[in-house]
Structure 1
Amino acid sequence: MLDRKGLERQQRRDLLLEAAGRVFGRKPFDEATMQEIAAEAQIGMQGLYEHFASKQDLYEQVMIHRAEAFSARAEEVLRTPRPPLEQLRSMFQAYADHFRGRLIWLPMFILERVHYDWGFESRFLPRLREIYEAERARLKGILHRAVEAGDLQDLDPDFLIQLCFGVLEASLHRSHRTGKEEDPGACVERAMACLLRGAGVRP
């Protein structure tokens, strides 16, 4: 257990990660500066460098922190046995809940996962690759069971995975563009409807 000093240090670190996430959400990595992040967090530069050695280090820690939080949530919601489409809906819900109030962070995650999917060089660490690989394997298993249950067409698994990410990201993007706070459940239902109209088994 952390003592008071350790707890305060952890709280400052979390505040810096939140502030950095907002800055990196607004600007590409190369345009964002440590000065902007320090100003966003209302902390001095010395305080920022006490926690993170460089902008690269800070960016990686933001990505890993958020990806691990999402991965833990996804694993939690999928522990309850459900039919495959309900599991998929639950996974979509975990995404929507994770980004609620933080949709500006979504482009960071999309960019890094596109780099991973297409095999480009990226800034992410091996830990982040592990999370993405586990995420894809989790989703692939759900989609395989949905195909076996006759809920989805027997399409190429990688195509179905990308289709899932695509409809969900499009739905989240719509929420962001309206400028209004939307219930995450509405975002999920829109994404599920689009997926099933495109890849669902025809009656």
Structure 2
Amino acid sequence: MNFKRRQNFQPSDKLLVLVGSKNPVKISCTEDAFTRAFNKSFLVEGINAASGVSDQPMGDQETLQGAINRAKNSRDVFPEAHYWVGIEGGLDEDEAGMFAFAWIFILDTTGKTSQSKTGTFYLPTAVSKLVKEGMELGMADDTVFNQENSKQQGGSVGILTHGIVDRNEYYRQAIILALIPFLNENLF
């Protein structure tokens, strides 16, 4: 986003949503989710915002903290927006294996916040092994599935569902769920 160009942002313009990532998938799914949820257009831009967590977050706590940090750091850099969105993908393990998920964190100009988590899915052993060796999930997917930059495309979920659920669709639903308090202000 060209911040100098947007310094003269006028209230009559579309509402501005800032995503704490330059990943085109995260920007696209945020725009789609806000448009569907509010039934109107938004200007959605991405910004490189620090997550403050590991490159490959592990567990709910670290992953949620990454989403919170991305949203708040976006607000700190560009407070003129109307909403700030943090999306952070993470991994965890249980007795069935390593699984993936993402946390969404949204805040608005009033200070209201909300969060939601995507569904989870298990990773193949070959991918999990590379992650345990220190590789970030996107790179592990690229290595195992002979892909290039898959995390800015369909991601793990797209690869493993053969495109039935891509990363855009995967995040979109969770973003809409995180918008529930903003859509029902009288209830929250």
Q: Could you tell me the TM-score, scaled by structure 2's length?
A: 0.26
The higher radius of gyration belongs to 1
Comparing both structures, which one devotes a greater share of its residues to strand? 2
Q: Could you tell me the TM-score, scaled by structure 1's length?
A: 0.25
